[in-house]
Chains A and B, each alone.
Chain A
Amino acid sequence: MTTETGIGAAVKRREDFRFLTGRGTYTDDINRPHQAYGYILRSPYAAAQIAAIDTSKAKAAPGVIAVLTGADYDKGGLPCGWQIHSKDGSPMIEPAHPPLCKDQVRHVGDQVALVVAETYAEAKDAAELIEVDYKELPAIISTAKAGEPGAPQVWPEAKNNVCFDWHIGDKSATDAAFAKAHHVTKIDLVNQRLIPNAMEPRSAVGDYDRATGDYTLYTTSQNPHVIRLLMGAFVLQIPEHKLRVVAPDVGGGFGSKIFHYAEEALVTWASGKVGRPIKWTAERSEAFISDAQGRDHVSHAELALDKDGRFLGLRVNTIANMGAYLSTFAPCVPTYLHATLLAGVYTTPAIYAEVKAVFTHTVPVDAYRGAGRPEATYLLERLVAKAAREMQMDQVEIRRRNFIPKDAFPYQTPVALQYDSGDYEATLDLALEMSKWSDFENRRAEAAKRGKLRGIGISTYLEACGIAPSAVVGSLGARAGLYESGSIRVHPTGSVTVFTGTHSHGQGHETTFAQLVSDGLGIPLENVEVVHGDTNKIPFGMGTYGSRSLSVGGSALVKAMDKIIAKATKIAAHLMEAAAGDVEFKNGNFTVKGTDKSIPFGQVALTAYVPHNYPITELEPGLEETAFYDPLNFTYPGGTHICEVEIDPETGVTQVVNFTAVDDVGRVINPMIVEGQVHGGLAQGIGQALLERCVYDEDSGQLLTGSYMDYTMPRADDLPSFQVATHATMCTHNPIGAKGVGEVGAIGSPPAVINAVIDALAPLGVEDISMPATPLKVWQAIQSAPKKMTAA
């Protein structure tokens, strides 16, 4: 049912008024009475022994309340939430991860001391007076070289810096497929490290109440309940009923605010120690060396094809950089979120992938928008494009020929996943039409007259969202469940408060979930309020990541609504003196079937709280229900992205002139929000393809792209306007049919862009370019190309 405010309506966001008027409440906007400020002294070295720390001068500095080091810290380390087992059955190496380093620092930015003072400036001033005697050690930075013999060792227990050496798929079947191949395409790829850069820097306020013994942590988190669980149970040993975690308005996450960070534990712990609330807020340059980073894969892949271009087998070997420590979900990213996606949208019958995770003296790497799936998509779509060029096949035809047909669902891939639905031809056809694909050569010729190299690239991708079910992910190494909770509290006058365990940090849940519930209960949108982000208000939650909020969190709300309606139906039946089985609920009214007897939802709500005429022996008063929803499967969004670029051969500047994205995200609740999510993902995907990269000095381990002076954030004039559309096939196993939209843009787009760049440079004989295709890199490719530019 589409109404002006129901499912499918482009309702304007209810969160916008406060954000547009400066009345949002982000963590750094929160100030507690008698609050002190924390500053974290961080390692200037990538690898060093801490021989001694002298804090005496700092402790004597003006305004200083405490200076705490690893020697003072007597609590637990930061836990890792996912355990991978290597090929040989051994568990991954899981080194200690103390919030404050004791004897050794392992990346530039590692936490060495916490200074607490009356003002932030005083804390920072005092930190300069801490004398740390570092004995610098050789550092290993390179992903590719970390496992080489003789490389500096990050952890003594991780021989050759290997965290785990994992595999998936059928090796012998894949070898057999290659043995009968007509053609094999090989590719070496780097999926460069990125820095997420949510615009709000991380912040945390720890507040210990001596009177009650309660701790409160306000934090920039995508999943406050998970932080409470991890920090309470594993790090600080605070029981959950004495620990409240609040994630208020959060200024973007993109994965980087999923994880439990040292600073959260430190301000909470130190608040108890000094008896004052403590606020810590990262400066941007600090965020660059302390927020978990993303991607960082080095891969070799081979695709076996028959003479008609049908895929017979795929072999992938990936080295994934974990950084110096295991961040919360790091091990699952290159494994279950990457290698399991290597079938993509294709019927490749045999796949074998090996993933070796290595430690380096760099900031930990974890999920960043897409998390593993952009890496898989980039690998696959670059490989397919290269195979088509090598076999002189059309880029579209080779894909069509290998698509999983729309009548083949559910489709079991050779890498564990079972896709429930999709129609890859439909998204492809629409994208081809919208992008005017067939007319491209005319545009290329026209550009050539202007001295520009024009190219077009395509990516037909698939991803997996709403990671689940709990039992399956548990068997794969997850140390948590991956369900979601939702509660519906119907108030006596019929308005509703919705409590969701997901968290909105830009996604507009307050609007989308209100639409879902208003539609489901047949009540006006303005009668629904959505609450998220506070462990004292919401029963439980796993938070927002992996594009799961609607498909998992929304489904929990649907289940809660089902319970509400079931109970309300009984109350209505009682009021109308009918059998519950004869009462149906529609458009906000309970009606006795076949009669004109009807009462509205509001009257039932009031009766539930004023139970004068009430089936009190059968039903409790009140109308409030909670549901937990554990999905039966992942969801599988997919689609086609087409990018068109123009390159200025004199400067190497690549301009994206057209970008078309047609995505199947399943059921759309609010198309305006869905389009916005796609736009944002595309910007990050195009950013990865053309602009962004995290670079460390290979010798010193210093971050060379440590600010916006060197890390190229996409700005308005780097991007075009996008053409986006959706074409839905419904998810078959959740009650909404939603698949997820948060990550599709970032997953599908990078190979479309790079394939376009290569297409533009192909007339010069250029066959490869790595991300990001910066002006420098493109210019160099043109300079060293086998063929020279010819005058237009």
Chain B
Amino acid sequence: MPTVRMTVNGRAVSGDVEARTLLVHFLRNQLGLTGTHVGCDTSQCGACVVHLDGTSIKSCTLLAVQAEGAALTTIEGLAQGDELHPMQAAFREHHGLQCGYCTPGMVMSAIDLVKNNPDPSEQQIREGLEGNICRCTGYHNIVKAVKAGAQAMNGQAVRG
């Protein structure tokens, strides 16, 4: 069984996996990071989005062995203790989540979206979230949250 090593949320981890093990299952079952979800099997819903070396990817469409040596960030790695990442805080403030199932992937995608486009319009946000399906919110408040989250992230970047 191959052994994989990677950095997850700043921590070096390793594990023995079957070659066929998907990254999302390695995260969930072997590392216990169950915040990353699985909502489909055709790489469309985006519940499994994590950041791999700084960009968003669907962890259900990557083998764990392919992440060898990579630096991953999952939803668990965003908040600093009790202090939410600005995008997480914006989702709470604007009621951008209901059942919470799509939320981790949605937040991870939103952060990547803002990294690539710091001041997205409503239309750009809607198109930028094409890879994340939410069944609860009708996206109305997600769009508001991402817009506010973008502003907060920019503010933080200026401060930082």
Listed in ascending order, the chain A residues whose CB lies under 8 Å from chain B are 12-13, 15-26, 28-29, 31, 121, 197-201, 249-252, 254, 283-285, 505-508, 672-673, 675-676, 679-684, 707-709, 713-717, 719, 721-722, 745
Partner of B18 from the list A13, A121, A709, A721 (CB cut-off 8 Å) is A121
Is B35's beta carbon under 8 Å from chain A? yes
- CB neighbours (8 Å) of A722 from chain B are 138, 140
Among residues of B, the one whose C-beta sits closest to the C-beta of A254 is: B135
Q: Which residues of B contact A17 (CB under 8 A)?
A: 84, 92
Chain A residues whose CB sits within 8 angstroms of the CB of B35 once the complex forms = 21-24
B37 CB to nearest A CB, Å: 7
**How far is it, in angstroms, between the C-alpha of A722 and the C-alpha of B135 when the chains are bound?**
16
Query: Is B114's beta carbon under 8 Å from chain A?
Result: no
Partner of A679, one of B100, B103, B140: B140
> Which of A24, A285, A675, A716 is most buried by chain B, counting CB atoms within 10 A of its CB?
A716
Contact of B138 among A252, A679, A708 (CB under 8 A): A679
Query: Considering only CB atoms, which chain B residue lies closest to A200 in the complex?
Result: B101
Please measure, in the bound complex, the distance between the C-alpha atom of A325 and the C-alpha atom of B154, giving whole angstroms: 55
The 9 closest A-B pairs by CB, nearest first: A22-B35, A251-B101, A19-B100, A683-B138, A506-B99, A506-B98, A679-B138, A22-B75, A29-B34
Please list 29 pairs of residues, one from A and one from B, whose beta carbons are closer than 8 Å in the complex, sorted by A's number: A12-B95, A13-B95, A15-B100, A20-B92, A20-B103, A21-B75, A22-B74, A22-B76, A28-B34, A28-B38, A29-B34, A252-B135, A284-B42, A285-B41, A506-B100, A506-B136, A675-B95, A679-B139, A680-B135, A682-B138, A707-B41, A707-B42, A708-B40, A708-B45, A709-B44, A714-B138, A715-B130, A716-B130, A717-B126
Nearest neighbor of A21 in chain B, beta-carbon distance: B79
Identify the closest chain A residue to B85 (Cβ). Answer: A20
Which residues from chain A contact B33 at a C-beta distance below 8 Å? Answer: 22
Cross-chain contact A201 with B98 (CB below 8 angstroms):
no
- Chain B residues closer than 8 Å to A285, beta-carbon distance: 41-42
Q: At the interface, yes or no: B153 with Cβ under 8 Å from chain A? A: no
Q: A9 to nearest B CB, angstroms?
A: 13
Q: Which residues of B sit under 8 angstroms from A249, Cβ to Cβ? A: 99-100
Indicate if B142 sits at the interface (CB-CB under 8 A): yes
CB distance from B91 to the nearest CB of A (A): 6
How far, in whole Å, are A612 and B77 apart by their CA atoms in the complex? 51
Rounded to whole Å, the gap between the CB of A127 and the closest CB of chain B is: 16
| A716 and B38 contacting across the interface, CB-CB below 8 Å | no
- Chain B interface, DSSP helix/strand/loop, else mixed: loop
Residues of B within 8 A of A708 (CB): 40, 42, 44-45, 133
A252 to B133, CA, bound (A): 13
Binding site for A on B (CB under 8 A): 18, 20, 28-29, 33-42, 44-45, 47, 74-76, 78-79, 84, 88, 91-93, 95, 97-104, 107, 122-123, 125-127, 129-130, 132-143
Give the docked Cα–Cα distance between A121 and B1 (Å): 15
Q: Which of A31, A121, A508, A679 has most chain B Cβ within 10 Å?
A: A679
Q: Which residues of A contact B122 (CB under 8 A)?
A: 721
Contact among B37, B84, B92, B139 with A683 in the assembled complex (CB-CB below 8 Å): B139
Q: How far is the CB of A590 from chain B (nearest CB, A)?
A: 36
The docked-state distance in angstroms from the alpha carbon of A505 to that of B104 is: 16
B79 / chain A contacts, CB cutoff of 8 Å: 20-21
A22 contacts B36, C-beta separation under 8 Å: yes
Chain A residue with the shortest CB-CB distance to B40: A284
The answer to whether A20 and B84 have CB atoms under 8 Å apart is yes
B144 CB to closest chain A CB (Å) equals 8
| Interface residue from B29, B99, B104, B136 paired with A22 (Cβ < 8 Å) | B104
Cβ–Cβ contact A199 & B140, under 8 A:
no
Our pick among B29, B103, B136 for the contact of A680 (Cβ within 8 Å) is B136
C-alpha gap A684/B138 in the complex (Å): 8
- Whether the Cβ atoms of A199 and B98 lie closer than 8 Å is no
Contact A676 B47, beta carbon cutoff 8 Å: no
Which residue in chain B gives the minimum CB-CB distance to A285?
Answer: B41
Indicate if the CB atoms of A676 and B130 lie closer than 8 Å. Answer: no
Whose C-beta in chain A lies nearest to the C-beta of B20?
Answer: A121
Are A199 and B134 in contact (CB-based, < 8 A)? yes
Is A201 touching B38 in the complex (CB atoms < 8 A)? Answer: yes
Q: Which residues of B contact A250 (CB under 8 A)?
A: 99
B99 in contact with A251 (CB, 8 Å) = yes
Q: CB-CB < 8 A to A506: which residues of B?
A: 98-100, 136
Q: Which of chain B's residues have a CB closer than 8 A to the CB of A252?
A: 98-99, 101, 135-136
User: Are B40 and A707 touching (Cβ within 8 A)?
Assistant: yes
- Could you say which of A13, A21, A31, A121 contacts B78, with CB atoms under 8 Å apart? A21
| Chain A residues in 8 Å Cβ range of B37 | 26, 199-200, 251
User: Which one, A19, A198, A508, A683, contacts B103 given CB within 8 A?
Assistant: A19
| Cα–Cα, bound, A20→B35 (Å) | 9
8 additional contacts (CB under 8 A) given A18-B100, A680-B138, A717-B126? A15-B100, A20-B79, A22-B74, A284-B40, A284-B45, A285-B42, A717-B127, A721-B143
- Chain B residues with CB under 8 Å of A24's CB are 35, 100-101
**Is B98 a contact partner of A676 (Cβ separation < 8 A)?**
yes
- Picked from A201, A680, A709, A715, the residue with its CB within 8 Å of the CB of B39 is A201
**Which of A201, A254, A707 has the most CB atoms of chain B within a 10 A radius of its CB?**
A201
A713 CA to B136 CA, complexed, in Å: 12
Residue of A nearest to B122 (CB): A721
Q: How distant is A249 from chain B, measured CB to nearest CB, in Å?
A: 7
CA distance A505 to B88 in the complex (A): 20
Q: Which of chain A's residues has its CB closest to B21's CB?
A: A121
Q: Which residues of the partner chain A approach B36 to less than 8 Å between Cβ atoms?
A: 22
Q: How close is A257's CB to chain B, nearest CB, in angstroms?
A: 11
How far apart sit A251 and B42, CA to CA, in the bound complex (Å)? 19
Q: Which of A12, A199, A684, A716 contacts B143 (CB 8 A)?
A: A716
User: How many whole Å from B8's CB to the nearest CB in chain A?
Assistant: 12
Residues in A neighbouring B123, C-beta threshold 8 A: 717
Q: How far is the CB of B84 from chain A (nearest CB, A)?
A: 6
For residue A293, give the distance in angstroms from its CB to the closest CB of chain B. Answer: 15
Residue on B nearest A249 in the bound complex, by CB: B100
> Which residues of chain A are within 8 angstroms of B125 by Cβ–Cβ distance?
716
With known contacts A12-B92, A21-B88, A716-B126, A709–B42 Cβ distance under 8 A: yes
Q: Which residue of chain B lies nearest to A686 when distances are taken between CB atoms in the complex?
A: B138
| Complexed CA–CA distance, A703 and B20 (Å) | 28
CB–CB B99/A713 < 8 A:
no
Residue from A199, A249, A505 having most chain B Cβ neighbours under 10 A:
A199
Q: Which of A18, A25, A28, A198 contacts B135 (CB 8 A)?
A: A198
Contacts of A22 in B (CB 8 A): 33-36, 74-76, 104
Q: Give the residues in chain B near A719, CB-CB below 8 Å.
A: 126, 138-140
| Chain A nearest Cβ from B99, distance in angstroms | 3
Residues of B within 8 A of A121 (CB): 18, 20
Inter-chain contacts of B28 with A (CB < 8 A) = 28-29
Determine whether the beta carbon of B98 is less than 8 Å from that of A508.
yes
Question: A12's closest neighbor in chain B, by CB?
Answer: B92
Q: How far is the CA of A506 from the CA of B98 in the complex (A)?
A: 4
Q: Which residues of B contact A25 (CB under 8 A)?
A: 34
In the complex the two chains form, what is the Cα distance from A709 to B103 in whole Å?
22
A21 contacts B39, C-beta separation under 8 Å: no
Q: How far is the CA of A745 from the CA of B138 in the complex (A)?
A: 10
Say whether A200 contacts B130, CB under 8 Å. Answer: no
- A177 and B78 CA atoms in complex are apart in Å by 66
Task: Looking at the assembled complex, report how far the CB atom of B129 sits from the nearest CB atom of chain A, in whole angstroms.
Answer: 4
| Cα A26 to Cα B103 with chains together (Å) | 13
Chain B residues closer than 8 Å to A707, beta-carbon distance: 40-42
Contact of A16 among B41, B45, B92 (CB under 8 A): B92
Q: A197 vs B125: C-alpha distance in the bound complex, in angstroms?
A: 23
